[in-house]
Amino acid sequence: MTEAAWPITLRVTAVRSQNPRGFGGAIFTGIPIDASGSVLDACAYIVVKANRAVLGATRVERGQWWRVSGRLVERRSVVDGFALVEQQVEADVAHLAMPSGEHIVNFIAENPAFEGLGSVKARRLWERFGERLYALLDAQDASAFGEVLTEQAAQRLVEAWAEHGQTRTLQWLQVHGFDLRIGRKVLRFFGEEAQARIEEDPYRLLSFTGKWTDVDRLAKTQFGVAADDPRRLRGAVEEACYRLFAIGHTAMATSDLASQVVPLLGPPPVGVRWRDLFSAAVSEGLSNGSIVQTPHGLQPLGALVMERQVAKAIAERLTGIGQQLLESATVDEIIAGVQTEIGIQLNLEQQNAIRLAAARAFVCVTGGAGVGKTTVLQSLYRVYDEAGVRILQVALAGRAAKRMQEATGRPAATIASFLNAINDISFDGPTVLVIDEASMVDIISMSRVCETLPPHVRLLLAGDPHQLMPVGPGLVLHCIMQVPEVPVVELKTVKRYGGEIAAVASAVRAGNWPTVAADEMAPVAFIPCEEKFIAGLVVELYALDAAHSQVLAPVRNGPAGTKALNQLCQARFTKDRPVITCWNDEFEQPEYCGLNLGDVVLCTRNLWDKGLQNGSLGRIVRVEALPDVSPEDPERVLAWVEWDDDVRRPLTRDMLDDIELGYAVTVHKSQGSQWSRIIVPVTNSKLLDRTLLYTAITRAQTQVILVGDLEAARRAVHAPPKARSRKVALDRALTQYLAREDANALESA
């Protein structure tokens, strides 16, 4: 049904998409209101599609009033089995009748001083008074709000505003079109100085949002910043430093920085060369300390501080006195006793690792998968116990921390949880902190750990530099192992598995491409396949032994990424099974959650209160019926999942953002886990390198099948690991600290 629609005023209830096709515009829903803001029909809502020509530069936000005209079309569709009827307007004209006021609404709703008011009452105040709300609040007249609030609530409002109100700043944020999320951060950081500080240098907003294009546009359109303004150049240098840091570098050559800055600035004004102005911007950065010149190149101040924090902590432990915990003979007796008790002969490498950790306050224990690092820790802990040393265990990922706890029988936590609880942890007396999977620990996490630890706490890093490097910036284990003074023991003898998987893994780890059969029944197979057929073949191979298989993909996106593979697996295995639904408040009806009975699911965040970690896998074994009416309780049970620890737990609505299909997971998610049979799609991805393939192969116990681009895999294995391309300076910083300690020792002699 189509008819002409005269102009109608809508209050925006939700924004479905900003800039939906990359050309501006928005798609939003609104309810019809009259001139006073009263809702005309509580059950009606209209979907508005407005392009850039209609909206201009105005951003649509929840709570705004829009005057819209255009063609009104009734659209019917079936979404996951539910009939859906929507009134849609392709807007010819759209005028902003009233700004959203979301800054003041959010300020009142989230500030504890306005307790009891909340977002609903705050939004009603804005809708009733609009811009006059600021003046009324400043006037401190509680009676003015009588038609919206009770007398008690109105009095609380004006009293709280008198103490905490920021009329000028909130109005300024609104007038300049700040995104609510950014405005909240700016207000929290600068307070009443926000306007002055941002007007002084709009590029300070880069600290509150990661989008250069948004900040640059705002600076030029709202604050009149010229293309060659020194503030813009400084901002571009800051953004370039951040981008290089985000992809892993803590140090950079001037040419690398310039290659990032120039594209940000765009075409230069006539007669201007960016590289000339770039030099001046870098010089200013060096003079004000935001960039530091080091022997490794330029370093952002933050990266420099973090690396020096770590280097200093390690140097203090390497040069401290009284590091030997027990006499050598006592350590040897403990080793002999452990071997008798567990019935395993520790090899010489493992015994040396135990002796070294007993003698030094900082030690690295490295080695590939299956070489017995966990056995070393179990044995070493007997030494620590004998010496009266308290043991703290951490790992980067929740799965690794859980495995560490299960293997040693002692508590373990993620690094994030450890740091969050640092004020509740006692470091009195001899203590050691053991960090597992240390190859994946970035400089940010390590610097925070080193900053919080007292100097007497020993450190032991266990990991494999040939596995995946940190997702975050910097390198820790890789770097410090290169410093000659750092005690390192490498375990080389594979104990957990052998045969063809061990041989192939060792070859890949060393950068040699092995001979691999194309037989899907072999212990290790590589089946060449065109990219367009990879996903389908992976699903077919998975189906041959789904109960014992796991797909490990290098990437999430693309035709052979985890997203596509999970959708194909769901379509193959559970498309006709009962679906999980939850209540949709906007449409007032149940909606499909994207999960079916029998689906394999993945937990993507540590949910310690529910006994789940980031990387936990399970299968949906039961679906609960959902009532046809009434809003959904966030803790209402939607389904039941049998998790990989053999515990059946409820799946509730508040968990849905952290649960996704898990037939295929990324290789990064797999680190620290094991499966009987794994299948790895291989494409020519920028993430593909030998450490990724090595990590994937070593997750398998009985069979590995790689599917896809054989030449891409061969090139990745022959090429240096991507970790070597990271520009870092931790090793040099540590060398400098150690040299300084040696010089101080000579002066004291």
Question: How large is the angle between the packed helices 710-718 and 690-697, nearest 10 degrees?
Answer: 110
Contact criterion met (CB below 8 Å) for 664 and 686: no
Give me the phi and psi of 434, to 5 degrees please.
-105, 125
| Tens-place pLDDT, residues 388-423 | 999 999 998 887 888 889 889 999 998 988 998 888
State yes or no: pLDDT of 431 exceeds 50. Answer: yes
pLDDT of residue 629: 47
| Tens-place pLDDT, residues 533-542 | 999 999 999 9
Burial of 394 (0-12, 13-18, 19+ CB in 10 A): buried
pLDDT of residue 584: 66
Tell whether 51 and 116 lie within a shared domain: no
Tell whether 469 and 618 lie within a shared domain: no
pLDDT of residue 209: 67
Tell whether 525 and 653 lie within a shared domain: yes
Out of 107-111, 222-226, 661-665, the most confident range is: 661-665
Q: The dihedral of CA 695, 701, 707, 712: what is its sign?
A: positive
User: From the DSSP assignment, how many helices (H) and strands (E) are in the chain?
Assistant: 27, 25
Residue type, 705: I
Tell whether 487 and 507 lie within a shared domain: no
State yes or no: pLDDT of 442 exceeds 50. Answer: yes
Residue 310 lies in a domain: yes
Structural domain harbouring 684:
502-718
Least confident of 373-382, 583-592, 680-689: 583-592
Burial of 437 (0-12, 13-18, 19+ CB in 10 A): buried
pLDDT of residue 194: 77
Find tokens 């006692």 and name the residue: 426
Residue 629 lies in a domain: yes
Tell whether 129 and 278 lie within a shared domain: no
Residues 64-100 as b/e (b if ≥16 CB within 10 A, e otherwise) read bbbebbbebbeeeeeeeeeeeeebbbebeebebbbbb
pLDDT of residue 163: 64
> What is the chain's mean pLDDT, rounded?
86
Tell whether 569 and 662 lie within a shared domain: yes
In the numeric block, which tokens belong to residue 345?
Answer: 């002969």
Strands of the sheet with 664-666, listed across from one edge: 524-528, 700-708, 675-682, 549-553, 664-666
Tell whether 682 and 541 lie within a shared domain: yes
State yes or no: pLDDT of 50 exceeds 70. Answer: yes
**CATH number reported for the structural domain that contains residue 677 in this entry:** 3.40.50.300
Dist. CA 609–CA 423, nearest whole Å: 20
Query: Which positions ≥6 away from 664 have C-beta within 8 Å?
Result: 538, 551, 552, 553, 562, 565, 566, 569
Residue 573 lies in a domain: yes
Q: Find residue 300's DSSP bridge partners.
A: 291
pLDDT of residue 343: 84
State yes or no: pLDDT of 690 exceeds 90. Answer: yes
pLDDT-above-70 percentage for the chain = 89
Tell whether 686 and 599 lie within a shared domain: yes
Task: Select from 328, 237, 322, 347 the least CA-distant residue to 283.
Answer: 237
Tally of domains within the chain: 5
State yes or no: pLDDT of 36 exceeds 70. Answer: no
Contact criterion met (CB below 8 Å) for 719 and 299: no
Task: Select from 49, 15, 30, 13 the least CA-distant residue to 179.
Answer: 15
pLDDT of residue 2: 41
Task: Select from 516, 574, 527, 571 the least CA-distant residue to 679.
Answer: 527
Dist. CA 143–CA 357, nearest whole Å: 72
Residue type, 697: I
Q: The dihedral of CA 242, 248, 252, 257: what is its sign?
A: negative
Tell whether 125 and 270 lie within a shared domain: no
Contact criterion met (CB below 8 Å) for 202 and 182: no
Tell whether 533 and 665 lie within a shared domain: yes
State yes or no: pLDDT of 599 exceeds 60. Answer: yes
Dist. CA 109–CA 114, nearest whole Å: 7
The DSSP output letter for 723 is: G
Residue 741 lies in a domain: no
pLDDT of residue 545: 94
The DSSP output letter for 612 is: B
CA distances, 213 to each of 60, 178, 217 (Å)? 18, 14, 6
Among 64, 96, 128, give the residue marking a domain's end: 96
Element (H, E) at 292: strand 291-294
Out of 24-33, 45-54, 184-193, 637-646, the most confident range is: 637-646
Among 435, 461, 491, give the residue marking a domain's end: 491
Tell whether 354 and 404 lie within a shared domain: yes
**CATH number reported for the structural domain that contains residue 23 in this entry:** 2.40.50
pLDDT of residue 653: 85
Find tokens 């010229």 and name the residue: 226
Residue type, 84: L
Tell whether 156 and 256 lie within a shared domain: no
pLDDT of residue 4: 40
Neighbours of 736 (CB within 10 A): 16
| Tens-place pLDDT, residues 555-582 | 999 999 999 999 999 999 999 999 998 8
Neighbours of 409 (CB within 10 A): 8
Mean pLDDT on 183-202: 79
Mean pLDDT on 35-39: 71
Among 455, 470, 491, give the residue marking a domain's end: 491
pLDDT of residue 1: 40
Residue type, 544: L
**CATH number reported for the structural domain that contains residue 291 in this entry:** 1.10.10
| Tens-place pLDDT, residues 92-112 | 888 776 656 777 887 788 777
Residue type, 450: C
Least confident of 313-317, 349-353, 588-592, 702-706: 588-592
pLDDT of residue 309: 96
Mean pLDDT on 628-641: 70
Q: How confident is the model at residue 628 (pLDDT cuts 50, 70, 90)?
A: low
Residue 746 lies in a domain: no
Residue 233 lies in a domain: yes
| Tens-place pLDDT, residues 271-307 | 888 877 888 888 888 887 788 888 888 999 999 999 9
Q: To 10 degrees, the CA torsion angle through 3, 8, 13, 19?
A: 70
Least confident of 24-28, 443-447, 571-575: 24-28
Neighbours of 178 (CB within 10 A): 25
Residue 736 lies in a domain: no
Least confident of 33-42, 147-156, 657-666: 33-42
State yes or no: pLDDT of 3 exceeds 50. Answer: no
Residue 171 lies in a domain: no
